[in-house]
Structure 1
Amino acid sequence: MVLNSGYKEFMFGFIKKVVDTVGPRESGGAEEKRAGLMLEEELKKYCDSTAKEDATYHPRAFVGFIPYAMIAIYLSIVFFWVNPLISSILCAAALAVTLTEFGRYIEVVDLLFPKRVGTNVYGRIKPKEEIKQTVVFSGHLDSAYQFNVWAWFKGYWGVIITALAIVNALFVLVISLIRMVTMEGPFWSFNFGNYMSLIASGGVYRYLWYIMVAVGVVTLPMLFFLNRRSVPGAADNMSGIAISLGVAKYLDDEKKKGGFVPKKTEVLIMGVTGEEAGLRGMRRWLDRHEEEMKEHPYMLINIDTVFDFEAMGVIEKEVSIGAKHDPELVDMIYNIAAKDLGYKFKRTDLPFGATDAAEWSRRGHRATNMLAAPFDSGLPPNYHTFLDTYDKIDARSLEAMLDICITFLKKIDSQV
């Protein structure tokens, strides 16, 4: 371990201070801005310069469409017998929005939702010599709306119900298209007068329709998927903010006592808006800074959801969004953590969801994400729920992650 005592308490104290004084931080909301100001106040103590940049986006679009998509699926089941064309259109629309907005984080229906202006906050720490590369340590300032279904149904059951709703939409779409092609007579009707007789004489379609209805009943909670209130967001993701801030404090402490100062590596410490709104804040930051990133190499070490000392790791791939992180960065962090420092540490994939690192990797920039959460054994009870409080955080995980970040920075700077 390269750290002296005090950093663990410093990082945990910052998390506690923000959660106690600010509380939940809706994407682009006043509380998120207050947390950003608190971060900026700390960064001014340790960085050579700080900056704030506005980012405009529509935070509720990312998951706010889900109840409307569910209503479309239920209407398609109702219309199945009299108008399979309408059923097909409704299901196709629900699937298209779900797979783009929620699956691939593409902004499709955003303009239909209210606009917010969030703020990205970051500090710059200059190297001793000319800048040859920039390393960014980041976490996101906002906290998620509670995902009710994931809170109500523990383990992977919430995810299974979510997946069932998507599969049911695909099932209804396929069967509606088949029925539309094979049925006798017009498939465009709004006559519900003989609805029950159509079901009774529906043959094999009757049993397929019963399956649609049954799965529709099971997935009814999806109508209430999203809570309108945000969660405390201690682990997700004041932990990432605190660890990034710990890097800044460590470098300042070292500089004051004549210790380690990066020779040719500029360091950016970032607090990002709108991650829980579908990576919108990091997307806006990259849109603004991508040209200057061509001047010399940039790399991102994003830190998101740290609370379990026994479940630390580095992400290789974020599957649903299609992001594969830089293998050299992944290897270097894994080797530092598991071999050089001796931590229990793993390589892992993120099967669903995404981190801000995904936005970098999808654009071809070097990035990865570190986490300390047991996602491979089911959804943790405090993930995107009101249980995400700082008493769930094992402070040893904060200290270990900072240790890994500092060791990585020293190693990457020595290679320039």
Structure 2
Amino acid sequence: MTLGNYRTNFDLYHAQQATYVTYAIQTIMYVVSAVGPRAPGSVAEMNSQKIMMADLRNYCDTVTQEPFTFHPKAFMGFICIDSFLMIASVFLYNFKFRILSFICTTISCILFFGEFFMYRELCDPIFESGSSSNIIGVIKPVGEVKRVAIFNGHTDSMWQWQFNYLGGGHLLVLVIVFTVGGMLVFELLQIFYFKEFQNWIAILQICWLPWYLLIGYFTNFKTCVEGANDNLTGCVTAMAVAKYLKDNNIRLQNTEVRIVLTGCEEAGLRGAKRYAAAHPVASENAEVAFFCFDTIRDLDSMAVYNKDMTGTVSHDMRVCNIMKRAGELGGLDLPFATVFCGSTDAAAMTQAGFPAGSFAALNPTPADYYHTVRDNIQNLEPIALGHSIDVAMGSLFIFDEEGLDGSQSDYNDI
């Protein structure tokens, strides 16, 4: 099939959009019914990857599986360590072991900022190791590879966030704010009043003790969620790109299409980090764009995320502009947004030097299904999935025609 300009190519795809929404929904339902919840590094996650690999082999020239090792419960497990350390810190301070109390609080702060804000693997070695893998499907171009378009979703699902399940996003935010706020304030007070014991600080910390106890129950490791939205929707968006190209006998002239389904995003972006380490951007010898899709559900919250990892990582605006323009092809005016609490795989890729951007449709409160058992196949939104596939296909056509520089200054970085 001969391609025209990106608008014509998108219109030809869009006439068939319903076919790929149906494909996406059916694939999600099959994976969930076949393997259920997919905790990071679990047998279920590996089985889900086998299903997706088998499907991708119908559309891609090559499909490979790249295994890696990691520590599945370290990323969320640091919260339990912080809970223990802060409880110990309160009692140590009250019994006037101020230096030990200060050490416990300082370690808690380091773990919080290192693991959560920076996604560093600080406490991983003390947790049990496990294995997972990344799935990579490649569709080669007709000629020389001058561009590489990478479409990404992650295959694992999260253990349940107990407070979001019990009281929704507002309770979740309340517990986080009071716990983290207490930890940081106590650290500052201990520094400011380092020379002498303060009775009022001891009393204040006792009042904060319930929050330190509560945060230890943040993650229910006994319950893993189905993750129909987070993030099988991202996986099937990426897979739909490959299926459309195959169904319509399309092979791009100089753009390689790569479907990268990462393992263990919920364990701290471990799969994306391992992919970036194994395939450094400098080794590509081509212009690369990484398009991440994560949690496609809430129509009122669709956005292109140009800032990630709790606002500490800024994505390449050229990629973000491409995704925004792709949304316009499908009739959307997508705002730029910030992942204010957490991260997507795009953040790990940006940190590794890849031009990357992310599309998501998730209520940032967050939604009450987020990381709970409510994230199931009954809670899918086909319209949102259609928009997600639109963004993916539009991004491919724009990037193939113009590259990154064609979208360098279409929109302001806001």
**Do they fold alike, i.e. is TM over 0.5?**
yes
Return the alpha-carbon distance in structure 2 between the equivalents of residues 54 and 391 of structure 1.
Answer: 32
- Give 1:260-339 correspondences, 5 Å limit: 260-290=250-280, 293-320=283-310, 322-338=312-328
**Secondary structure of 2:174's aligned partner:** helix
Checking the alignment, whether the CA contact within 8 Å between 1:97 and 1:108 is kept in structure 2 is yes
Query: Could you tell me which amino acid in structure 2 is paired with residue 166 of structure 1?
Result: V
**Secondary structure of 2:303's aligned partner:** strand
Structure 1 position 156, deviation (Å):
3.1
Task: Tell me which residue corresponds to 1:374.
Answer: 363
Checking the alignment, whether the CA contact within 8 Å between 1:105 and 1:321 is kept in structure 2 is no
- % identical equivalent positions: 26
Task: Tell me which residue corresponds to 1:347.
Answer: 336
Task: Tell me which residue corresponds to 1:208.
Answer: 201
Task: Tell me which residue corresponds to 1:140.
Answer: 154
Return the alpha-carbon distance in structure 1 between the equivalents of residues 356 and 191 of structure 2.
Answer: 43
Structure 1 position 179, deviation (Å):
3.9
Task: Tell me which residue corresponds to 2:354.
Answer: 365
Structure 1 position 88, deviation (Å):
0.3
**For residues 242 and 320 of structure 1, do their structure 2 counterparts lie closer, same or farther at Cα, with a shift above 3 Å needed?**
same
**For residues 180 and 413 of structure 1, do their structure 2 counterparts lie closer, same or farther at Cα, with a shift above 3 Å needed?**
closer
Structure 1 position 92, deviation (Å):
0.4
Determine whether 1:9 maps to 2:3: no
Query: Could you tell me which amino acid in structure 2 is paired with residue 61 of structure 1?
Result: A
Return the alpha-carbon distance in structure 1 between the equivalents of residues 189 and 333 of structure 2.
Answer: 49
Name stretches of at least 5 consecutive residues in structure 1 with no aligned partner: 184-204
Which sits farther off after the overlay, 318-327 or 115-124?
Answer: 318-327
Task: Tell me which residue corresponds to 2:246.
Answer: 252
Query: Could you tell me which amino acid in structure 2 is paired with residue 412 of structure 1?
Result: F
Return the alpha-carbon distance in structure 2 between the equivalents of residues 312 and 302 of structure 1.
Answer: 13
Return the alpha-carbon distance in structure 2 between the equivalents of residues 231 and 293 of structure 1.
Answer: 37
Checking the alignment, whether the CA contact within 8 Å between 2:326 and 2:398 is kept in structure 1 is no
**Secondary structure of 1:155's aligned partner:** helix
Aligned length: 388
Moved over 6 A (4+): none
Determine whether 1:18 maps to 2:11: no
**Secondary structure of 1:217's aligned partner:** helix
Return the alpha-carbon distance in structure 2 between the equivalents of residues 315 and 411 of structure 1.
Answer: 18
Checking the alignment, whether the CA contact within 8 Å between 1:161 and 1:218 is kept in structure 2 is yes
Checking the alignment, whether the CA contact within 8 Å between 1:84 and 1:179 is kept in structure 2 is no
Checking the alignment, whether the CA contact within 8 Å between 1:127 and 1:261 is kept in structure 2 is yes
Task: Tell me which residue corresponds to 2:412.
Answer: none
**Secondary structure of 2:299's aligned partner:** coil
Structure 1 position 291, deviation (Å):
6.2
- Give 1:27-66 correspondences, 5 Å limit: 27-66=40-79
Query: Could you tell me which amino acid in structure 1 is paired with residue 366 of structure 2?
Result: L
Return the alpha-carbon distance in structure 1 between the equivalents of residues 128 and 55 of structure 2.
Answer: 31
Checking the alignment, whether the CA contact within 8 Å between 1:149 and 1:221 is kept in structure 2 is no
TM-score under structure 2 normalisation?
0.90
Aligned-pair Cα RMSD in Å = 1.6
Could you tell me which of 207, 223, 232 is aligned with 2:226? 232
Task: Tell me which residue corresponds to 1:392.
Answer: 379
Checking the alignment, whether the CA contact within 8 Å between 1:313 and 1:371 is kept in structure 2 is yes
TM-score under structure 1 normalisation?
0.89
Query: Could you tell me which amino acid in structure 2 is paired with residue 285 of structure 1?
Result: Y
Structure 1 position 80, deviation (Å):
1.2
Task: Tell me which residue corresponds to 2:102.
Answer: 88
Task: Tell me which residue corresponds to 1:174.
Answer: 188
1:99-155: CA deviation from partner (whole Å, max 9, x where unpaired): 101221000110100111101111100112211010100100000111112322322
Checking the alignment, whether the CA contact within 8 Å between 1:56 and 1:118 is kept in structure 2 is yes
Structure 1 position 219, deviation (Å):
4.4
